[in-house]
Amino acid sequence: MVNIKLVLEYEGTNYYGWQIQPDVPTVQGQVQEALRKVLNREITLVSAARTDRGVHAKGQVVNFKVSQCLPSVQLVRAINSILPSDIRVKKAEQVPDSFHARHSARCKVYQYFIYNHFMISPWFRRFSWWFKVPLNCELMTEAASYLIGKHDFSSFQNKGSPSSSSVRVVEKIKINKRGFLINIQLRADGFLYKMVRNITGTLVEVGRGKISPEDVYEILKARDRKKAGPTAPPQGLFLWQVFYPVEKTN
């Protein structure tokens, strides 16, 4: 048996998330069906993250085991010739048998995009949260600083999370604004269910002046989802990159 790692990117607009579900289109379902046709056998993929409906990915990582496989370049070309145009395999490689896309991950990076203007460009409507009220990024950055480090992030976790622990280590939250586009980058050892979108929604409440940066610290310590801000919509979220111990994170 060989263990194959794939790196994928996709636009999540037309899919009910990553994880396969009956009677609805999912990214996992599309990729597994393409692999079935290429390899002439059923394949089950293990993913680094289960992105939600409408969420995108630039660097989703998956792996699967199979008795024999095509060379990497041929495999990538064959899969992409079958996949719909909004899903692509960027890379394929054989990895050690011990590699597991989810369990082997050292950290993950998500990016969230907000289009902060009274009128949204058509080019960004599928890939950002259109927010008309002006946002103060300096206040948002100050608020984000309270979330850096090892904490219980229960206040930012939606119900239905499969995780047994709500403790995570957030390594970085960086907020940049270029023109009308605000980018929030989060890097952590793992993320809870809708954690990024809930943090984003809370930071937006700070940016619009509804709550203070110091309030975010109190929200974190409350360990109560009801205390935090709204869940940001899915279309602004991207799974950007997944890092593993053998890779550099700079």
| Residues that are catalytic | 52
Nearest to 174, CA basis, from 185, 165, 163, 182: 185
116 and 136 in contact (C-beta within 8 Å)? no
List, as one string, the DSSP characters of 33-96.
Answer: HHHHHHHTS----EES----TT-EEEEEEEEEEES----HHHHHHHHHHHS-TTEEEEEEEEE-
Written as six digits, the tokens of 63 are: 């792996």
Per the rule left: phi > 0, alpha: psi between -120 and 50, beta: everything else, 194 is: left
62 and 48 in contact (C-beta within 8 Å)? yes
Nearest to 170, CA basis, from 196, 151, 188, 190: 188
Please, what is the Cα angle at 152 between 148 and 157, to 5 degrees? Answer: 100
Provide the greatest CA pair distance for the chain: 57
Q: Using DSSP, state whether 199 is helix, strand or coil.
A: helix
The helices-and-strands tally (H runs, E runs) of the chain is 5, 10
